[in-house]
A and B are shown apart, each in its own frame.
Chain A
Amino acid sequence: MIDKLPILSLLIWLPIIGALLVIFGSGQKHKGATQWLALITAGATFFLSIWALFEFDSTRYLMQFVEDEPWIESLNIRYSLGVDGFSYPLIVLTSLMTLIVVISSWNNVSNRISHYLAGFLIMGGLMNGVFAATDAILFYVFWEAMLVPMFLIIGIWGGPNRIYATLKFFIYTFFGSVFLLIALIYLGMQAGSFDILAMQQLVMPELDIQKLIFFAFLIAFAVKVPMWPVHTWLPDAHVQAPTGGSVILAAIMLKMGTYGFIRFMLPIVPDASMAMADFMIVLSLIAVGYIGLVALAQKDMKKLVAYSSIAHMGFVTLGLFISFSLVAGKHIDAAIMGIQGGLVQMISHGFISGALFLCIGVLYDRMHSREIADYGGVVNTMPRFAMFFMLFSMANSGLPGTSGFVGEFLVIIASLQVNFWIAAFAGLTLILAAAYSLWMYKRVMFGEIANEQVASLKDLVSRETIVMIILAVMVLAFGLYPAPLLDIMQPSVEHLIDCNLVSKLSPEGMCS
């Protein structure tokens, strides 16, 4: 039955239609109805994404649930959707995080809640669209359109310095994506269509042109990841965004940058990526090391987690670009491991960073402060919260048994095959991760009760507990048994390595 449904279209449009109902249907006056409508929409979307997961054939690398309709015939732009092992887990993640944001903002947002919820639902649909689009222009449309609701969410519901932060966020990412547009137009011209798969089949005999396209992609996606040195918008945006905005930003939007690497950069310009791999590895190591140190120095909890996100995303880019040397050295298994490690890290970081921002949101709702110095001894008044926060902090520092460990471990093992020192450096920085996560935890949670406000804190209410349990289960499940996730990705990763990471300078050796 499910194969008759246009499942991806539903995943995109259901939340958007739900959002329109939320805005125009119930209005501001019926707060309860608004919230339930949003919850039902987000829940239905998530349910749909899980249901389709059972139909997803994890033995194939080809696009599944394909939809293909003409959209703009005069430009040969098609409304074509499809998912593979790279994108489907991210769609499930998006749907889950949207649901979690809707639940977690239940009583916390008093100002124009219907617009707030509608913003997240629209964004959820558009983000699903980014991951599902197989037409480059369609991808670009979703990629850009998604910025608008985030811009409004940070700007309307954000902190005191929200206007600066949200303009910086929008202009930074827009600046990146205009270069993406130029690259896509050029590739579309060469390939004769805007189909991403056709672009991947393109032979590109000139390395210089490949490099230009590489840099166009790099500007667009590196801003989004964000990689050092174009990361500066992220701490601002995170600190000023409302809790839900931070969660979506960290859990989903950052993943779009690395998704872009996998979908566009690696397969379309492999020779340029190969040539620039060392450069990318250095940038990744700077992100992991230097940004880790920066995180250690933060006094604001949200900023700390924001910097730690940049450091963790460094592992993803490291895993992706280390694979080139591995393929060149015929360590195919290790290359698979590196890319898979990066992918698992993307999913896992989605859960962990989302959960950490929710934890900070829980504290912020009660104390209206994000300064670490304002806290201390919270464990005495909020024991249940302390337990969840502990788990997520541990996961953030890559404790074995949590999902944070799996991805980083795979990446380090893979880089060991290339160069001992890369692996050693990346491994050592795990200590940094432990330091900033656990030190923050110690300062906020342990010790004497710092002040009267902390003494009067109330522990988690059941709504918050539900959210925490969901995320905790995810973190532990993928930490203890990551095999299902790895299995879904396996064929796509193998295909990427066999067919797409080969040289495109001549048609020889390319898969047909």
Chain B
Amino acid sequence: MNESMNFSLITSEIFLLCALCVIMIVDLFQRDKERVLTFTLTQASLIVLFVLGFNSLGAERIISFDGHWVTDELATVLKLSIYAITFLALFYARSFISHRNLMRGEYYLLTLFSVLGMMIMVSANSFLVVYLGLELLSLSLYALVALQRDSSVASESAVKYFVMGGLASGFILYGVSLIYGATGSLLIADVAKHFSENSIGLVGQFGLVFIVIGLSFKFGAVPFHMWLPDIYHGAPSSITAFIASVPKIAAFGMTMRLLSEAFGQSISQWASMILIVALLSVILGNVIAVSQNNLKRLLAYSAIAHIGYFLLGVVPGTQESFSAAMYYIIVYALMTLAGFGIVIFMSSENKEYQKVTDLRGLGRYHPWYALLFSIVMISMAGIPPFIGFWPKLEIFRNLIINGYVVEAIVAIAFSVVGLFYYLRVVKEMYFAEAVDAPEISSSRSLKIAISVNCLLLLFLGLLPDSIYQYCLTAFNLMG
């Protein structure tokens, strides 16, 4: 269906924008240091968005606003997971930022702005709108990282992030301009139509290469990963937890719109590029993570490896493999949030948690949290019955079905390397002798958030269908 100017299709986006304005004004008049009202309103608007999104599940695909906007199941499911994980991430952030002079209205507002950017990214149906959403997201994130003005590390990361992110955006924009030159249109549907009728040509190929590079930059895939560990390490932990998890879901949406929909006819062209990037990420990410002693850097390199696995899911280029990749990225976001949640949880009021060895003694003094964190690590390593196993299984299954057996074996062999450093974290918690009890956060909301998040990894692992069926319907694969 094609409709123009049907504003009911962007109710969620309009609602969020209005809510943002209201929260901004309400926050101005707040004297409360803890910003309870701002927090509550932010979370309430996320809940409303979730309900709105949930109600539009199962609707048919509609293209509107002269072809610039698309509302389909893929967008809805991705948006739902964005809301849910942002909601959880804000719970993590609350006590952390209040101890670090970050408890300002801007924190919530910028988070919501980035959510709006992500919503636009996943629903965009033209290169221009994709770019619009991407920039809204990126600018909010740069500002979020820079929010801790008095920290030199955070400021440095913010600058790095800005420069690198700007470069990546530039790549994408240049790619888009080349594509526009080749096809004469910015609408994804027109581009797809053009390339299905004509061969891709040199200009189109150039544009495609630039877009793939830009996307790899945004994902932090090898060899465009250099910025990622520094920024994950330098940013305040609660912000790292957010930028490492949720925006990747939106970036997946963008990948689908750009690569699968616009360049659906030239899969062989981009799949071979993505394959190299993915395998390099799996290999390098896993190997370098082994030597990391800082948990945040360890998780950053493990994130690179995870992105590699996820990109391997995109490589076969079938609808089924896309849904596997989508499953992977949602689960990845949930696990990464929990992973950085550990860092937040272990950072007490005046101490920033850093080293893996700081977890020593957790198994003896706080067995419940040691158990939860072990679940996170073992799930990241991809051991059943935890949720991390199932998307990996699906990725490997799709690789094997489509004949990428050697690639699957390489990837799976490097997951054994991955196991080693995840187990190192478990080892520190349980096996190493500790002199005294490690300090943990005392915030109740944080305790509840991390318990819920980690137990989700177990329960969703026992019922893997609960997420996967939505990923399958997003690609019209369920009866």
Given contacts A74-B468, A144-B384, contact A171 B416 (CB under 8 A): yes
Measured between beta carbons, the chain B residues less than 8 angstroms from A276 are none
Verify A185–B396 contact, CB threshold 8 A: yes
* Cβ B378 vs Cβ A148 within 8 A: yes
B378: A residues at CB distance < 8 A = 148
Contact residues in B for A73 (Cβ distance below 8 Å): 465, 469
A:115-157 near B, CB below 8 Å: 115, 137, 140-141, 144-145, 147-148, 151-152, 155-156
B385 in the interface (beta carbon within 8 A): yes
- A178 within 8 A of partner (CB): yes
B462 → chain A, closest Cβ, in Å? Answer: 9
Q: How far is the CA of A144 from the CA of B469 in the complex (A)?
A: 24
In the assembled complex, A181 has its CB within 8 A of some CB on chain B: yes
B-contact 0/1 string along A302-321, CB 8 Å cutoff: 00000000000000000000
Q: Is the CB of B396 within 8 A of A181?
A: yes
B430 touches A156 (CB 8 A): yes
User: Does B427 have its Cβ within 8 Å of any Cβ on chain A?
Assistant: yes
Judged by DSSP, the binding face of B is helix
Q: Are A189 and B401 in contact (CB under 8 A)?
A: yes
B393 close to A171 (CB less than 8 A): no
Given A74-B468, A141-B385, A155-B427, CB of A174 within 8 Å of CB of B400: no
CB pair B431 A72 closer than 8 Å:
no
A481 within 8 A of B: no
Segment of A89-97, A162-170, A228-236 engaged in the interface with chain B: A162-170
A443 to B400, CA, bound (A): 56
Question: Does A420 belong to the interface (CB within 8 Å)?
Answer: no
Q: Which of B27-35, B59-67, B405-413 contacts A (4 or more CB under 8 A)?
A: B405-413
- Give Cα A140–Cα B393 distance, bound, in whole angstroms: 11
Residues of A within 8 A of B408 (CB): 182
**A185-B396, A189-B397 given as contacts; is B430 within 8 A of A152 (CB)?**
yes
The yes or no answer to A5 lying at the interface (CB within 8 A) is no
A144 CA / B461 CA spacing, docked (Å):
14
The CA of A274 and the CA of B396, in the complex, are separated in Å by 29
Contact of B469 among A74, A115, A137, A152 (CB under 8 A): A74
A186 at the interface (CB under 8 A from B): yes
Q: Which A residues are in CB contact (< 8 Å) with B416?
A: 171, 174-175, 178
Known: A163-B427, A182-B400. Contact between A74 and B472, CB under 8 A? yes
The docked-state distance in angstroms from the alpha carbon of A25 to that of B258 is: 53
CB of B427 within 8 A of CB of A182, answer no
Closest CB in chain B relative to A74 CB, distance in Å: 5
Instruction: Tell me the bound Cα distance from A453 to B384 in angstroms.
Output: 47
Residue A461 lies at the interface, judged by CB distance under 8 Å to chain B: no
CB interface residues, B 380-406, toward A, < 8 Å: 383-385, 389-390, 393-394, 396-397, 400-401, 405
- Which chain A residue has the least Cβ–Cβ distance from B384? A141
Query: A511 near B: Cβ within 8 Å?
Result: no
Q: Which residues 403-439 in B have Cβ within 8 Å of A in the complex?
A: 405, 408-409, 412-413, 415-416, 419-420, 423, 426-427, 430-432
Q: What is the bound-complex CA distance between A167 and B423, given in angstroms?
A: 8
Interface centre among A74, A147, A170, A179 (most CB of B within 10 A): A74
Q: Complex formed: what's the CA distance from A147 to B464 in Å?
A: 21
10 of the cross-chain contacts (CB-CB < 8 Å) are: A115-B367, A137-B393, A140-B384, A141-B389, A163-B431, A166-B431, A167-B423, A178-B416, A181-B412, A186-B405
Besides A137-B393, A148-B378, A175-B413, 15 other CB < 8 A contacts? A71-B465, A72-B464, A72-B468, A74-B468, A144-B383, A144-B389, A145-B383, A148-B383, A171-B416, A175-B416, A178-B413, A181-B396, A182-B408, A189-B397, A189-B401
8 closest cross-chain pairs (CB), A and B: A141-B384, A155-B431, A178-B412, A175-B416, A185-B397, A72-B465, A163-B431, A144-B384
Chain B residues close to A by CB (< 8 Å)? 363-364, 367, 378, 383-385, 389-390, 393-394, 396-397, 400-401, 405, 408-409, 412-413, 415-416, 419-420, 423, 426-427, 430-432, 464-465, 468-469, 472, 478
